[in-house]
Amino acid sequence: MVVDADARLPLTLRRSRMAAITHERGHVRVEDLAAQFAVSEVTVRSDLAALERQAKVRRVRGGAVPIELPLGERPFEEMLGANAEAKQQIGIAAAQLITSGETVLLDVGTTTAAVARALVARPELTEVTVFTNGLRIAMELESAIPRFTVVVTGGTLRPLQHSLVDPLSDTVLDRIRADTVVLGCNGVDLAAGVTNINLPEAAVKRHMCRAARRRVVVADGGKLGRVSLSPLCGIDEVDVLITSGSADPRVVEQFRAAGIHVEVAM
């Protein structure tokens, strides 16, 4: 029988490994840790409580998250180079879901920017109307005019992501019903759903979800199983989840077993 390398570790090493896993994944569940370390859930809770006292993790319902969450958002330009190839593949896969004549809501972010570039690269697409709250997204789409109609939602500018948020961001979204929303995020979790780190942008993302018939979530493999600050929608509201080849196959299968249509872009 093959025994997991994490099973039956001494207490100090087990707790150190739990803290490391929490920081790697961004969110861990008690039941998953119990299985990985071959201990009871009671033991895991005791370990997490000890790690919390040491300021190494923060306990949340059913699990734990890192004590130091990301130091805030990283600027759009800084994130462009992170997982660039994976984002490109995700963008191509998402763009293939769009057909001529559709109305699309395209959220702000570097992964959705890759979707915008992939849409532009499909010359057969015509009469596509794209609403976006991202200035950089709009600029990516500009070369596709007049095949595309590009509408910027309006609102208050956030320089970090070049995004438009409340107040006034909902003026346009209140008046439309789109075929598809392509949504970026910071985390996708079976229990917590789709989440995002920034509250003002999360409010716009939720509004976009309500305004669209089909919801497509784009998230690289590192975001699966993560939970961030603000909920966007429940996992049961996601029609398609497109992720990258770096996604843990076991996590992908968990999503599929829950009835989520998952595409792994390679």
Q: What is the pLDDT of residues 146-197, one digit of tens each?
A: 999 999 999 999 887 889 998 888 889 999 999 999 999 999 999 899 999 8
Residues 145 and 227 in one domain: yes
Residues 136 and 203 in one domain: yes
pTM of model > 0.85: no
Residues 186 and 261 in one domain: yes
Q: What is the pLDDT of residue 7?
A: 63
Residues 209 and 82 in one domain: yes
In a domain, 206, yes or no: yes
In a domain, 3, yes or no: no
Q: What is the pLDDT of residues 107-159, one digit of tens each?
A: 999 999 999 999 999 999 999 999 999 999 999 999 999 999 999 999 999 88
CB neighbour list of residue 136: distance below 8 Å, 6 or more residues apart: 76, 108, 113, 162
Domain holding 47, by residue range, is 11-66
In a domain, 6, yes or no: no
- DSSP-assigned letters across all residues of 111-125: HHHHHHHHHHT-TT-
Last residue of a domain, one of 40, 66, 92: 66
Which tokens in the block code for residue 202? 């999360």
Residues 130 and 231 in one domain: yes
Q: What is the pLDDT of residue 5?
A: 55
Number of structural domains found in the chain:
2
Q: What is the pLDDT of residue 123?
A: 97
Measured in degrees and rounded to the nearest 5, phi and psi for residue 224 equal -75, 130
Measured in degrees and rounded to the nearest 5, phi and psi for residue 228 equal -110, -170
Last residue of a domain, one of 38, 66, 94: 66
Residue 71 predicted with pLDDT over 70: no
In a domain, 136, yes or no: yes
The domain that holds 82 is classified in CATH as: 3.40.50.1360
